Structure 1
Amino acid sequence: MRFISKPIAFAIALTVASGAGAQQIVKIGHVGPVSGPNSHLGKDNENAARMAIDELNAKGFTINGQKVTLQLLAEDDASDPKQGTAVAQKLVDAKVNGVVGHLNSGTSVPASRIYHNAGLVQVSPATTATQFTKQKFPGVFRVVANDAKLGGTLGKYAVETLKVKNIAVIDDRTTYGQGVAAEFAKAAKGPGVRIVDKQFTSATATDFTAILTAIRAKKPDLVFFGGMDAVAGPMLKQMKALGINARFMGGDGMCTTALGRLAGDAVGEDKVVCAEAGGVKGAQEQVMTDFRNRFKQKTGLEVQLYAPYVYDSVMVMAAAMQKAKSAEPAKYLPELKKIKYEGVTGTIQFDPSGDILDGALTLYTYKGGKRTRMDVIR
């Protein structure tokens, strides 16, 4: 996911104090939209980063046999590309050793060049834009499936399983929204299947009357939205008010526990189908349940969306540092490239481009206003 591209800036800055007898400090920065329409996701991710760091410190984290203390530095990018790049440069100037983030593709992609030019490693827990890893920066990684898989899977599901014929597509003009919508449209092919309309809005819009009225005239079976839950919720309400009874589909940006609250009764019963990058099955489900319980015990809050992937992003970077016996990016990068880490979200391994190997997707719908899992597919 994903935002303004997609979906929370994270940064993991790591600097180790040197000098004989000096206590070693590893500074881990977190950047996310803790203000603005996506603040519920940003706070969720920041809490997960803090949880990972606290747990590592409690266990006595060491690098090359020496105990180090991890410190979290939290910043806000407000899902804004300019603010995201400003924060990225701030972390570079602070001489950090690594970055976990961002959530939004629109902040993560431009920030990635700044990190690359500084020789930093970046692991994103949520960026899904295909462009992110196509840049071929050696230090760029992601722990979730990309938009090609996300949008493509939804496109095939709409045609092959839901059997829709007339489809309208809306995107929010962000890197994430446009990307996932384009991949969906590319895959939504079949006998008699038509894209009857394409419209766009913005990531901060609240009135969709004009575009929805135009779509209503085309009588779609399904409306696909590329964007975030803060826009999808009000859009669903306005679809209901206009008498548009089509199914509603979207990617991970809108596939949150908050959507039911944001859409109210307009979310319907089995009306919405969405996919979240990631997901677990079988024995791994208990691992995820344990994480969710620990997260709620520590924060008093339910996991919103990407917290488990943020947690794993911190942990996999820390594991690579331990294997390399160094927090220097140039030294732990080779270990990260070949790592096989068993995390909360499953096995984490990367392909040569930095994409997660065999990334999973979870399909959801909403029943009684609550997000309900349908299936996990790979």
Structure 2
Amino acid sequence: MRRLSVLTAVSVLLTGCSVFGDGPQPLKTVTIGLDAPLSGDLAEAGLSIKNSVELAVAKANEKHLVPGVRFELDPRDDAGDPARAKANATALAANPAVLGVVGPYSSSVALEMNPALAEAGLAQVSPSNTLPALTWGPDYRGKGKNRPYGTYFRTVTTDAIQGPYLADLLRRSMQVTNTAVISDTKAYGKSLADEFAGQFEYTGGTVLLRRTVEPGATDFTALVEQVRSSKAQLVYYGGESPEAGRLAAQLAAAGVRIPMAGGDAMHSEEYLHLAGATAAEGTLATSAGIAIDNLASAYAYVDAYTAAGYTVPHGPFGPYAYDSAWALMLAVGSVVTKNDGVLPDQDLRKAVTSALQEVTFFGVTGEVSFDKFGDNYNQSISLYKVENGKWTTLVSSGRWAGH
């Protein structure tokens, strides 16, 4: 079976029935690895990813998605530390039962993990990495796209889409003529800020101030004064919610009453908590994917997540984590089907990676399939705004006209 039909895959997600035929009770265990920040400042996002993969694995086992196969999850905590993530990648690669990995959360972490997983021939699907260079190569602007690792895939949209999308929206729909652009020094934050600033200036806007902050920074006194002096209409922040929230709070406390905007890593409950109600109000954030609020394909997932009683919300990346795990398990099923109903003894990881490149299904987040670079063909963007202390959806499924 070269490709799974979209219609059949919809049935898998919504009814949970096997697409690979009826068979005996599961006999062989296949491990899906996971790397995410399960502790530390980014734990809310990491736990939402882990919880969602747990749900996917449980559903696959309950309905015997792949006859003869039982899936189990091996979650690893990187605490947002690239060195720990690299060690996790080495450990997962050393376990022959691991046939795929979901994660990591951060693009900077992926840069450390990808070589070890690729060397082991181990497929990985990230639900949250947005750095374009991960699939297009580090010199994609100057030399064109060149996929660095054939084992790496992702289900979310990239910064090359979400940064310019908001830049265009601010310029053309909201008449913002100038901005301050601030980012952390991680690969994700710098890339997102670069993509935003480049498009903002291309459309005639002016970047009045460009600064970076260190991850973990808590005192933004000098930066707040620089923003004040710049007289910028808006602050665009490329980075994660801990620093963004603290910066927003300190801007408001100093009387700098201008809105904040940013990317997917800002779109979190943690940002609201750290910024506080007054400072957070009016904040705009894109998310590198579709908003599932009114998406029929997400109803069963949301119900299952709620019923499980998890202490953190599924957030923007939970649905993409579910689909990432499902893609890997469908790839395993495709390998089994092509091998007369059993897992092959040779080159199993290579076979799973090859099958993953051909997988297509309609998941929680809509259609999922991968182009020749490992990116999801479905390049949706959603836009949120903080209103009355809560994130509200302004655009549930947008597209950047320049893409």
The TM-score normalised by the length of structure 2 is 0.84
Contact 1:256–1:304 (CA under 8 A) maintained in structure 2: yes
- Which residue number in structure 1 is paired with residue 274 of structure 2? 262
Per-residue CA shift, 1:27-58, capped at 9, x if unaligned?
Answer: 12222111110011111111111111111111
Match of 2:73 in 1: 72
Counterparts of 1:113-128 in structure 2 under 5 Å?
113-128=115-130
Contact 1:206 1:231 in 2 (8 A): yes
SS of 2:157's partner is: coil
Please state how far the C-alpha of 1:362 moved relative to its aligned partner. 0.4
Equivalent residue, structure 2, for 1:7: none
CA deviation after TM superposition for structure 1 residue 316, in Å: 0.9
> How many residues in Structure 1 have an aligned counterpart in Structure 2?
353
How far apart in 1 are the matches of 2:292 and 2:46?
26
Q: Does 1:134 align with 2:155?
A: no
C-alpha offsets along residues 299-340 of structure 1, whole Å, 9 cap, x if unaligned?
Answer: 344322311111110101111111121482211223221221
Task: Answer yes or no: is the 8 Å Cα contact 1:257–1:305 preserved in 2.
Answer: no
The answer (yes or no) to whether the contact 1:267–1:366 under 8 Å persists in 2 is no
TM superposition outliers: structure 1 runs of 4+ over 4 Å:
none
Q: How many Å separate the matches in 1 of 2:33 and 2:203?
A: 50
Give yes or no for the alignment of 1:287 onto 2:297.
yes
The change in CA–CA distance for 1:194 and 1:359 in structure 2 (over 3 A counts) is same
Name structure 1 gaps, 5 residues minimum.
1-20
Superposed CA offset, 1:88-116 (max 9, x none) = 11111223222111110011122111111
Mark the CA change 1:237 to 1:345 in structure 2 (over 3 Å): closer, same or farther: same
> How far did residue 191 of structure 1 move?
6.8
CA distance in 2 between counterparts of 1:191 and 1:342 reads 36
AA partner of residue 80 (structure 1):
D
| Match in the other structure for 2:170 | 158
Are 2:57 and 1:57 aligned? no
What SS class does the counterpart of residue 188 from structure 1 fall into?
Answer: helix
Tell whether the 8 Å contact from 1:100 to 1:313 is kept in structure 2 after alignment. Answer: yes
After superposition, residues 1-378 of structure 1 pair within 5 angstroms as 23-62=27-66, 66-95=67-96, 96-135=98-137, 136=147, 137-189=149-201, 193-269=205-281, 271-280=282-291, 285-301=295-311, 302-325=313-336, 326=343, 328-375=348-395, 376-378=397-399
CA contact 1:223–1:249 (8 Å) conserved in 2: yes
Q: Secondary structure at the match of 2:376?
A: coil
Q: Label 1:251 to 1:22 Cα distance change in 2 as closer, same or farther (>3 A).
A: closer
Q: CA RMSD of the aligned region, Å?
A: 1.9
Instruction: Evaluate the alpha carbon distance shift between residue 341 and residue 267 of structure 1 in structure 2; reply closer, same or farther with a 3 A threshold.
Output: farther
Give TM-score, length-normalised by structure 1.
Answer: 0.89
User: Which one-letter code corresponds to 2:234 in the other structure?
Assistant: L
Give the residue type in structure 2 aligned to 1:310: A
Letter in 2 for 1:32: A
- Amino acid in structure 2 at the alignment position of 1:180: L
Contact 2:31/2:100 (CA < 8 Å) preserved in 1?
no
**Partner secondary structure for residue 253 of structure 1:** helix
Contact 1:159 1:189 in 2 (8 A): no
Cα offset, 1:235, TM superposition: 1.0
SS at match of 2:230: coil
Instruction: Kindly provide the CA deviation profile for residues 222-242 of structure 1, in whole angstroms up to 9, marking residues without a partner as x.
Output: 100011111111111101011
Unaligned runs of 5+ in 2: 1-24, 138-146, 337-342
> Would the aligned equivalents of 1:236 and 1:266 in 2 still touch at CA under 8 Å?
no
In the alignment, the residues of structure 1 paired with residue 162 and residue 112 of structure 2 have an alpha-carbon distance, to the nearest angstrom, of 21
Deviation at 1:192, TM superposition (A): 5.6
Q: State the one-letter code of the partner of 2:70.
A: T
Letter of the 1:207 counterpart: D
Q: Distance in 2 between matches of 1:224 and 1:101?
A: 26
Q: Please tell me the residue identity of whatever aligns with 2:44.
A: H
